[in-house]
């Protein structure tokens, strides 16, 4: 087996897929219920959903500290480390990683290269997979970054949610906007704007089932019907939502790879218990072409 020239680390914005190379050191986000703080490894999705519905205090999320990042960067034990962060447009994690990189500088410390993924969640998982693939093949960091940029350019990430209430509680949207959305039963389809690395509205529907349909139609509109796809699915407390989305996509596209995982606790703070996410990209990885 080829000895990797560098290690790959990331932050808790990652949603892990068992069938991708996603088993890397992670600088965790945290969830705060008032004065009580849980690191991502200390609270399950199920416990978070329970608290979202019963705890009168709405939680907030907190980015990894520089110390969290330093621990992750030292974990691979390699002379070089590639740190892949959640989009700087969505989180301060990239800034924390940069502080950690500067604190680690010196004799014996790993040389750290930062890479802003411009995204998060399932789409971040695709980029981490590309980076680890390059490392396992004995290639360098620049080749890994080239593959990650290619993956970023061709991957789209969409989300929809059952209720706007958790976005309202977290200050992501206003009270009036949430009330109007609730009265009209409007469900947004949100995507990540890859140029800015921020959220943008892609579509909306009059029901949650309609939003799932609108989401999969956005995927087909982006890639063209019949295009083979890789599909990473995310679900909240209703795994059957992922089944519905995959079934709709499979009716219009050959699915060359798919996997599913639960939305991580930090993202669940903002989207609530019932949510669906889809990361989609053309069938072949950059190194397979």
Q: What is the pLDDT of residues 49-63, one digit of tens each?
A: 999 889 999 898 999
Categorize the per-residue pLDDT at 165 as very low, low, confident or very high, splitting at 50, 70 and 90.
confident
Q: What pLDDT score does 2 carry?
A: 77
d(CA 126, CA 232): 9
Tokens 């604190």 identify what position?
103
**What does the pLDDT average to over 94-108?**
95
Domain 155-288, CATH number (from 3.30.1180.10, 3.10.20.30, 3.40.50.720, 3.40.50.300): 3.30.1180.10
The pair of structure tokens assigned to 82 is 């590639």
Please state the pTM of the whole predicted model.
0.94
SS3 category, 46: helix
Domain locations along the chain: 7-29+64-153, 155-288
Domain 7-29+64-153, CATH number (from 3.40.50.2020, 3.40.50.10440, 3.40.50.2300, 3.30.70.330): 3.40.50.10440
* Residue 18 pLDDT greater than 90, yes or no: yes
d(CA 123, CA 22): 12
d(CA 16, CA 234): 10
Burial of 288 per CB tally in 10 Å (0-12, 13-18, 19+) = exposed
Quick one: the chain helix, strand, coil %, rounded to 5? Answer: 40, 25, 35
Specify the range with the lowest mean pLDDT, choosing from 38-52, 121-135, 237-251.
Answer: 38-52
DSSP β-bridge partners for residue 281: 230
């Amino acid at each position: 087996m080829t000895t990797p020239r560098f290690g790959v680390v990331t932050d808790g914005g990652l949603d892990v897929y068992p069938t991708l190379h996603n088993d890397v050191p992670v600088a965790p986000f945290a969830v705060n219920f008032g004065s009580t703080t849980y690191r991502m490894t200390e609270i399950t999705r199920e416990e978070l959903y329970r608290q979202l519905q019963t705890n009168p205090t709405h939680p907030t999320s907190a980015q990894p500290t520089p110390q969290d990042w330093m621990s992750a960067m030292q974990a691979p034990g390699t002379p070089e480390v590639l740190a892949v962060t959640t989009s700087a447009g969505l989180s301060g994690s990239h800034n924390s990683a940069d502080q950690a990189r500067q604190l680690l500088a010196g004799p014996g410390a790993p040389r750290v290269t930062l890479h802003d993924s411009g995204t998060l969640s399932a789409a971040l998982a695709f980029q981490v997979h590309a980076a680890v693939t390059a490392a396992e093949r004995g290639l360098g960091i620049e080749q890994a970054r080239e593959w990650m940029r290619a993956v970023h350019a061709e991957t789209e990430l969409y989300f929809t949610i059952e209720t706007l209430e958790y976005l309202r509680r977290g200050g992501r949207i206003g009270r009036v906007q949430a009330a109007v959305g609730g009265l009209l039963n409007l469900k947004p389809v949100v995507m990540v704007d890859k140029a800015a690395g921020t959220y943008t509205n892609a579509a909306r529907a009059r029901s949650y089932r309609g939003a799932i349909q609108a989401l999969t139609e956005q995927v087909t509109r982006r890639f063209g019907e019949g295009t083979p796809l890789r599909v990473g699915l995310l679900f909240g407390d209703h795994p059957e939502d992922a089944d519905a989305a995959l079934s709709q996509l499979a009716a219009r596209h050959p699915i060359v790879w798919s996997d599913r995982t639960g939305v991580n606790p930090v993202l669940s703070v903002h989207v609530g218990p019932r949510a669906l996410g889809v990361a989609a990209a053309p069938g072949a990885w950059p190194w397979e072409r």
